[in-house]
Structures are given as structure tokens and as C-alpha cells.
Amino acid sequence: MKKIGFLVLSFVFMTQLYAQTKQGHTNENKFKQMKDLLATPNEKRTASGAPGKKYTQQKVDYTIDVTLDDEKQKITGAETITYHNNSDDNLEFLWMQLDQNMRAKNSKTPDINPDKVPQKLSKVRYEKSLPKNNFDGGFNIMSITNIDGSPLSYTINQTMMRINLTKPLAAGETFKFNVKWWYNINNHREDGGRSGYEHFPVDGNNNYVIAQFYPRMCVYDDVEGWQNDQFWGRSEFALEFGDFTVNITVPEDHMLGATGILQNEKEVLSKTELKRLADAKKSFDNPVIIRTQEEATKNEKTRATKTKTWKFFAENVRDYAFATSRKFIWDGMAVDINGKTVMAYSLYSKEANPLYGDHSTRAVAQTLKTYSQYTFDYPYHKAISVDGQMGMEYPQICFNPGRPNPDGTYSDRVKYTMIKVVIHEVGHNFFPMIVNSDERQWTWMDEGLNSYLEMLAELAYDPNFPMSRGLPKNIVNYMNGDQSRIAPIMSKGDNVYSFGNNAYGKPATALWILRETVMGNELFDHAFKTYSQRWMFKRPSPEDFFRTMEDASGVDLDWFWRGWFFTTDVTDIGIKGVKKFYSKKDLDTVNFIEDTSEGLGFVEKQSKYHYEITYNKPGGLVMPIIAEFTYKDGSKERKIYPAQIWRYNDSEVTKVFISEKELESIVIDPDLETADVDTSNNSFPAQKTDKFDKFKKEIKG
């Protein structure tokens, strides 16, 4: 029994001893470095964020002949592709993109998204929302052959096609082959889509904005290998740079705009149009009309039966698109980009006039100026804005919505919305058409950066421009919303519920806050320009952006990237409490403070009022504390504590504030520049909230 008692006693003792052992923990500090999240630097992508000495990328050259059948709304094409394998790898096969197959009859695109019958919706809108099963808009591949004409084996997997090589394409070698195809053009005004045609029943004509019209090569790089993820219609494109020789055959009376330099302008433009074009190239203040509304209206009625071929050459572009119609009015003006003349053009039907005539080309010009200022000089010779159904971008050309009322009038809302879209889509010439990120994988790398720069261009166009997306106060409802519908920015666009806020709004807001609040304009602008210039005509990854911003600014931003881009945490900083101390001037010491930060100087006899302020942080994001102090005499003082103030305690921090004047109140983030989701705790004394304000907060607007 004694032995049993001893064993029991020993067991109890050991159990208590074990229970008293302190448990360890992992490093959850918000300021820890991001080495666990970022790819390891190498000789292709360096730790500084710059391309390494062994960086390579593929090159793809296209020679394309394409015919648009206006009567049947059909595209027929033939292309010769020259694929340059600049990688260090031998390629067993090649992958191509067949984007139009998302509209094929057997497409899986309509099946991947859940849907349900809405509680209340008009019959017309409901029927319009239903999938259209009677239209087959997929690619019809007529042949794929070697350059000698012999058949080449291929396998189609929905929107992707594998070219089965007879032998691996060795590193450094080139492969040349031919593809012939056709497809039916979709009515994108009725059925949606990035490209297609719009039919005008009154005059019986069509406007065409044509893109993704040719089978094109997938990207092969050191990050993804083959980027052959399916195109489901949302997350856009990953493409290689190359040279394009393109011949486009359309009805004779069409006006056409496209990527590249027009090679036969004397064959396709009238003498009058050539003269006006020459005038436009000398007009830096106002657009010049090159084809008038009267001339376009005349063409609407006569409708030519013959065709003509427009010939273009585009060097070092990642994609190709064009727009064509007999209805198009054409205007243009010159833009001075650091001594180089670049042309800004617009193509639009009379239904878009005078809105387009008043603002489109001017918005194009302003975009080229502003973006060049903050990134690099625009390297191409032109940028075109086309009257289209939705905003969509391609090298040197973009499609934008915007129509006035039938009587030609338009509201400020319509005007600014149209200008906003034009700026955004023209801005995409910089991101991703030149800084060539992978849109399929990382939508934010072009949409977010572009949305940020769009804000600067909007303010340059009109200092009173009604900006929306990108301002911190405008992202609050999203960030404070249902977490089941929110994903980190570092998420694939196809898998995100709130796509617009995730890929456009939140990253634009993050960059705005970095520039205006965290880094300051000078440091941010230099770092952003460094990133842009390092990765011109190259393929950056997110790591390259994060590292370059830190490398070029000397600011450690790991805490910011981790919080804003890798989590769905929110900003919420408040005032937990304030203690007030009073010291008489005739005292030699101030002894109510036990310890102070170096240099705070509590022994200054002139300091009459001492305040111990405790700030707390219910939100997960660490951010600077912006405190505005208002004194009894009405004067104000502002103090900004860097985000690093939270590095020891992620929940609350106490700071001492000394003043010769007595405080009346304190407000945190008075200008709403940190996207704080709850401002009810931002004031001392606490602001009173009436029942209606409380109700509004509960329903989040």
C-alpha cells in the first residue's frame, strides 16, 4: 500500500510539474519578415526585385490574314506562328489559347457558376440572364500544319489546345507552324463579352470590336511553367511579347483601328482623310476630325459591297485587337511625351456623339501624360479609344462604353463615368501590356496598379473629378463585410466572390495609403517608377513588385504586404483611455512618469499638461496612428505614430503627449485615410451616436 501511495503521490507531483511547464509559441508578430510567403530569389529573379542576369522569356511572332464577313458576322483567319524557345528547357509540346471556345456549344463556362431564380425580376431581364444555348461561337480549327504543309497533331481541351510535337523543341531553338480557323462573332451588346459586334436596327449596320480572334500561344516561364489554366471568362490573359504582321480584310467603306503601324494608309484612306490626319499630328491642343459624322452617316446608307485590306505591323506587343465599322467617326490629336509625339485617337458612332467627341480623345491624351510621368515614357506611337459595349483593353487600342441621351445631352454622371473608363482602359497599355504580369493568376497586378494610377490621371484631368474606387473611405464597407465573401488580394481572380473590390478597389486603396500615409509621395513614386521601368516588356511576379518597392525606397513593408495582401484583416484603431496630469511651473522635476522614450524631454518646465493616452487596436491590421489634438483655444496639432508602434503589443499601446495648452479633444484618423472600419471609437471624449446612426452602422449602409 505504501508503494501504491508513493506512486500515486509521484504521479500527482509529476502531473502538476508538467502542468506548470510553460508552453512555447510560433512567431505571430505582424512585423516578421515574409520569407515564409515569398518565393526564394534566384539568378532569374533577384532578392532586390529586379530581373536577374539569367532572366529569359519566350518570344512569339505572328503573321495573320483575317477576313471579317459583315453579312454573316463571321471571322475567317490563317496565321503562321514562329515560336522562339528562349528558356533553358526542352519543350515536349506547346500550348495555345482558344478563348472563343468559352462560347462553344459544349462550353463548360455556363456550368461553373451557381445561379438561382431571383425573388423579383422583370421577365425581360430574367430571360436575358439565362444562358444562350443556340449560339455557337467557338473556334472551328480547319487545319494545323508544319511549315512544309504536313499535318501537325493537336489536342483540344476546352479553351486550351496542345500542339503535339514530333520531337522536343530544344532550348534556344525556333518552331514555325500554321493554323487556319473560323468562328461566329457574338453580339456583345445583347449577350455580353469582351469583344463582338453591336447591331443598330435603325440603319442596319454593325460596330465590331474584335479581340481574342486568333489562336494564340500560352506563356511558358520560370514561375508557372505552362500557364494553361482554362479561360472561364473572368480572369484575363497571360501572353508573350512578339512581332505581329496582320492583314485585315473588311468592307470597303469601313473605318478601322488596330494595334500596330498602318503600312498602306494611302490605299485605305482618302486624300481628304490623309490631309486631316497630317493636321491631327500637329494639333497638341484640340482633337482634329479625320472622318466626320456626315461622312460616316453617308456610308451607313450606301453600304459598300466591295472589300479592302488594311495592313499593319506591330513590334514587341503581347496581343492584337481591332475595331471596324462604316459608322465610325474618327478624331485624333498629338501628345508630347518628353519630346516624342504620340497620337491619341477615338473611333465612335454618331450614337456616342457628342460625348465621345467632347471627351474621349482628351482623356486618352491625359492618360498617356500622367502614366508616363509616374512610370516610363509611353513607348508606342498611338493609343485608341473605341466606342464599345464594355471597358476592355489591348495593346494600343481599347473599347469603352458611354452614350449620351438621344438628343445629345448628357449628365455629369454619364460624362465622368465614361472618362473614368477611358482613362482606366488606356492605362492598361502600361499594365499589363508593357509591364506584362500574369492576369490569369494575379488580377490585382494589373487591375489594382492601374486603378491606383487612374486616380492620379483623373485628378490631372479635372481637380474636382468625383473619384470613387481607391479612396480609403470607399473600401470600408467591403472590408468590414461578410468574411465568407471576402478573400485576400493574393487570390486567383476566378475564385473570388467580390471580384471588383478584391482585384481593383482594395489594391488601389492599399497603394493610395502607402503613398499618402505610410511612405510619402517622394519615396513611393520613386519606388513605383523603379518597378515599372525594371519590368518594362518583362513578366514580373508579385514578389518582384513587393521586393522592388522596398529595395528602391529603403522602407521595410513586409508588415503592410502581409496584412493588406495576404489577409482579410481590417483597420480599426481607437482611443481606449486618456489620463491627464498637471505640473506646476515652479516645480524642478516631473516625477509622475516612471520611464520615457529617449529624447521625449519630460523635464521641460514649460510643459504644463501631460497626457497618457492608451490606443487600442480591435482590427487586425497594423497601421500608423494619426492623432489630431484640438486645444481649448481651438487650435489643432497632428501627430503621426508609425505602424511600428505596434511591434511589441498588437492590441494596445500607451503614449505620453505633452503640451503647453490644455486639450479639448482627440480624434484618430480625422481625414479617413487608413480605411478604419469603425470610427465610433476614434474620438475622445467619445462622440455620442444617436439610434439612427447606430442602425445605419449595423446594416453597413
Cα atoms in the Cβ-side hemisphere of radius 13 Å centred on 447: 27
pLDDT at 682: 97
Considering the chain, what is the average pLDDT of its residues? 92
Eight-state DSSP code of residue 244: E
Residue 87 burial (CB < 10 Å; 0-12/13-18/19+)? middle
pLDDT at 653 exceeding the cut of 70: yes
Beta strands per DSSP E along 583-647: 609-616, 625-631, 636-641
The H-assigned helical ranges of 554-685 are: 558-566
For 445-482, how does the pLDDT look when each residue is reduced to its tens digit (9 = 90+)?
999 999 999 999 999 999 999 998 999 999 999 999 99
Q: Cα dihedral sign for 35, 39, 41, 46?
A: negative
- Type of residue numbered 288: V
pLDDT at 592: 46
pLDDT at 585: 55
- Type of residue numbered 643: A
pLDDT at 590 exceeding the cut of 60: no
Eight-state DSSP code of residue 647: S
For 2-56, how does the pLDDT look when each residue is reduced to its tens digit (9 = 90+)?
444 444 445 445 555 555 677 787 888 999 999 999 999 999 999 999 999 999 9
Q: What is the mean pLDDT of residues 142-149?
A: 98
Report which of 608, 603, 606, 605 is spatially closest to residue 593, judged by C-alpha positions: 603
- The bridge status of strand 340-348 relative to strand 329-337 is antiparallel
Query: Quick one: pLDDT band at residue 697, thresholds 50, 70, 90?
Result: low
Distance CA(31)–CA(420), nearest Å, equals: 37
pLDDT at 308: 98
Report which of 261, 384, 246 is spatially closest to residue 323, judged by C-alpha positions: 384
Residue spans of the domains in the chain: they are 574-698
Residue 509 burial (CB < 10 Å; 0-12/13-18/19+)? buried
pLDDT at 686 exceeding the cut of 60: yes
pLDDT at 120: 72
Query: Quick one: pLDDT band at residue 655, thresholds 50, 70, 90?
Result: very high
pLDDT at 659 exceeding the cut of 70: yes
pLDDT at 199 exceeding the cut of 90: yes
Judge contact between 226 and 85, C-beta under 8 A: no
For 258-303, how does the pLDDT look when each residue is reduced to its tens digit (9 = 90+)?
999 999 999 999 999 999 999 999 999 999 999 999 999 999 999 9
pLDDT at 500: 94
Distance CA(494)–CA(442), nearest Å, equals: 10
pTM: 0.92
Q: What is the mean pLDDT of residues 510-529?
A: 99
Q: Which three cell numbers stand for residue 516?
A: 499618402
For 412-435, how does the pLDDT look when each residue is reduced to its tens digit (9 = 90+)?
999 999 999 999 999 999 999 999
Distance CA(346)–CA(342), nearest Å, equals: 14
For 500-509, how does the pLDDT look when each residue is reduced to its tens digit (9 = 90+)?
999 999 999 9
For 361-393, how does the pLDDT look when each residue is reduced to its tens digit (9 = 90+)?
999 999 999 999 999 999 999 999 999 989 999
CB atoms within 10 A of CB 298: 12
